[in-house]
Structure 1
């Protein structure tokens, strides 16, 4: 009998765990059919048969830790001559005696190696989308079997701030799509599987010459269950490494969890629902609350038949409203808001802005500076002077985290809803740089092309309604930030200069802040600083 060993190839790590045995002894495999599934730090992957063969024995089991070069199975290569096994006359259980011939020779060795290309299947997860809330899958951009380049979109998600594509993390072939339009996913959830090629360095057989000098017989005894005793099998559990990790953290037996993914694959949401169901059994007597998650026990609203009073029309909330509504409610009820109102004389600022834009038109420069550009620069300067506004309250409410960077978020109204992209390091950028970046972000926002990274890392938000109208309003803080500035429509007002009234262009300011972090006096100081900076733009250059 000609037996060959299959060893674990290079899988990019020192040691990996076997999470599934895909075959049984006696199975006939075709080339590239999976023998085992291993779990690395980054993905789970199949270890395939390198050629057509029959499984003679398995040297590993699920849960084993193995490393490169370890033998995982012994196989009989298709086409090899079969020898009649020697069987001793003995009662069950049957014992198979495998005789391996090892020859001692004079050897001339040539150590060479070759590079083989092996295909592996890796999981694709939802990247960091800027929050823990589940978001909707609104579109599938690729089909199974498609060849996808790195950064090509696989699916499109819709968050409370924008729609965004989830790109392929590498170039490869799409093997599975595990979500459908309408599904909800979170950061880290498994959405697809892709096949990619990796290069594996495989040592060639050592060249051996000379006649054999001696022969050593090595006997290997393997106990085999008799056919009279049924072999106990368990149903395979299909789950990604992240799902298995989650199950281990909560002590969940995945064999008891029903999978709702493709081919009954267990998803993170399935594990969470299982845990929730188990907790519900334990706490079945617990009282219900409003579902705010903040400890409030609000009375439920009564259903009212409005049609009794006249004609009505019911319109479903937009997807953005459904997502952003709970977030706005949470921010409003969890933070003690205080709003400080003030004004800024932007007469000189507006005169300078118009003059500068006229210069850009004459020179053909593709730049246009809006009042918002000056507001971004002024807020960045004010945050440096008042660092408590550039902070966040820790999750346990026991400390304040001060940020050493200045990133300004700007609310932009689009046909799809309100989005809040972020201008990074605004304090280090000039007016022209901020103007260009605002234009680019606005175009991406209107086209629905903002990425998650474009809307992350904000320290302070500006909401400008100046192009619409109004005087003052109370903007809701964008957690985990501690303050937000609202800008309204500027108007000409008479301002007394000590001897007479002069017409001045006045910009209304509305600053909402978290009273747990910021005192009223600090709020007044911040708006006073902001007013001075906007009234005298020379101060922004210092």
Structure 2
């Protein structure tokens, strides 16, 4: 039986250019195997197959413009092959790779991912000259580029100086082991680097007295008949949304010109989840319209999906403000990196029992460290301090939200 493979949902991208075909007629492919690479002005993306089978006809060529539902190729499905149509939204944005424009000639003759091409260009390496290609189907890997540079002394010293020797032959000093970064770790690393180097970060440190909040939370969990346990993060999210309405600049983004501020009237809160695949940031949509119990349940559900690498585009897009919580691990403070195009991010550390002076004596109080990083182009120090102070006040007495 023949099956037409189409472009799935690729977010808000349309009319993206095909820069590389990764299969040919006669190839046997599997579900989720990459078929081609497309590129827009800002990102490149590998499009995976939704079915198993043998390639009988390819409907696109390098240089074509494609969008959602454009035909890619025709497969002849094998007998006894399970036909699994992945939901379109499961093509998630963790496959996006920053890239520079490529020539059609390079795309046709060289099999290498956009990140490898970018690395080679930065190092002044002509991929056509690399004969040792260790990737699947003779693809060039970043390690192949590095090995070529180490063995070929013709690489200009100027390029090496510009990159300040990004890597070295550490094996001459002792035993080493190569451990490839996960795909998500590599992509998030690129995004974090770009954000850190393009946004003027400032971090405001504070702490909130959550003694009464913790008593209320634990007591609520003890008497509740629901299976959903309230988490401290759910209270923080609810409090943050309340403060964002008072300080709308924190719920905004700069436009592409950098001259206008886009104030968002919706409140989608991202929260960082540490997984074996790397750091993921699922998003709780319309958090202002949900109860603390609903937010807690959504945190649990999205965290489970993240740890199973089952998040889709709808789970990770659209955040207006992000919270990075290390409370379950420890630490006293840190500088979280803004999740661009947002303009601020809240870091939360581990609650610590501290002696606090009440004008007559020291009393034990549970203090929650807060680290608020913000884009200094949009937010000044006074506004940040007021935001942080207001958040601390709300967390010290959550009943203030209803006033």
Same fold (TM over 0.5): yes
Query: 1:125 maps to which residue?
Result: 7
Of 343, 348, 355 in structure 1, the residue corresponding to residue 212 of structure 2 is 348
1:428 aligned to 2:289?
yes
SS at match of 1:498: coil
SS at match of 2:103: helix
Is the 1:341–1:510 contact (alpha carbons within 8 Å) kept by the matching residues of 2? Answer: yes
The structure, 1 or 2, with the larger RCO (C-alpha pairs under 8 Å, 6+ apart) is 2
1:299 aligned to 2:167?
no
C-alpha separation in 2, matches of 1:417 and 1:289:
26
1:323 aligned to 2:187?
yes
C-alpha separation in 2, matches of 1:521 and 1:456:
30
Count of residues in correspondence between the two structures: 309
Is the 2:251–2:267 contact (alpha carbons within 8 Å) kept by the matching residues of 1? Answer: yes
Q: Structure 1, residues 276-304: CA drift from partner, whole Å, max 9, x if none?
A: 869xxxxxxxxx8689xxxxx98312253
Query: 1:535 maps to which residue?
Result: 396
Of 376, 385, 390 in structure 2, the residue corresponding to residue 515 of structure 1 is 376
Is the 1:390–1:482 contact (alpha carbons within 8 Å) kept by the matching residues of 2? Answer: yes
C-alpha separation in 2, matches of 1:467 and 1:193:
38
Is the 2:31–2:50 contact (alpha carbons within 8 Å) kept by the matching residues of 1? Answer: no
C-alpha separation in 1, matches of 2:350 and 2:105:
49
Query: 2:343 maps to which residue?
Result: 482
Query: 1:333 maps to which residue?
Result: 197
Is the 1:127–1:187 contact (alpha carbons within 8 Å) kept by the matching residues of 2? Answer: no
1:155 aligned to 2:32?
yes
Q: Show structure 2 runs of 5+ residues with no match.
A: 18-22, 52-56, 67-71, 76-96, 108-120, 125-159
Query: 2:332 maps to which residue?
Result: 471
Q: Could you say if the C-alpha distance between residues 323 and 145 of structure 1 is closer, same or farther in structure 2, counting changes exceeding 3 Å?
A: closer
Query: 2:155 maps to which residue?
Result: none
Is the 1:393–1:399 contact (alpha carbons within 8 Å) kept by the matching residues of 2? Answer: yes
SS at match of 2:366: strand
Is the 1:123–1:240 contact (alpha carbons within 8 Å) kept by the matching residues of 2? Answer: no
Structure (1 or 2) with the larger CA radius of gyration: 1
C-alpha separation in 1, matches of 2:216 and 2:263:
34
Cα RMSD (Å): 4.0
The offset of 1:348, in angstroms, is 0.3
The offset of 1:326, in angstroms, is 1.1
Q: Show structure 1 runs of 5+ residues with no match.
A: 1-118, 135-139, 147-152, 158-177, 195-236, 247-259, 264-268, 279-287, 292-296
More strand by share: 1
Is the 1:125–1:189 contact (alpha carbons within 8 Å) kept by the matching residues of 2? Answer: no
Q: Could you say if the C-alpha distance between residues 398 and 462 of structure 1 is closer, same or farther in structure 2, counting changes exceeding 3 Å?
A: same
More helix by share: 2
SS at match of 2:177: coil
Q: Could you say if the C-alpha distance between residues 330 and 367 of structure 1 is closer, same or farther in structure 2, counting changes exceeding 3 Å?
A: same
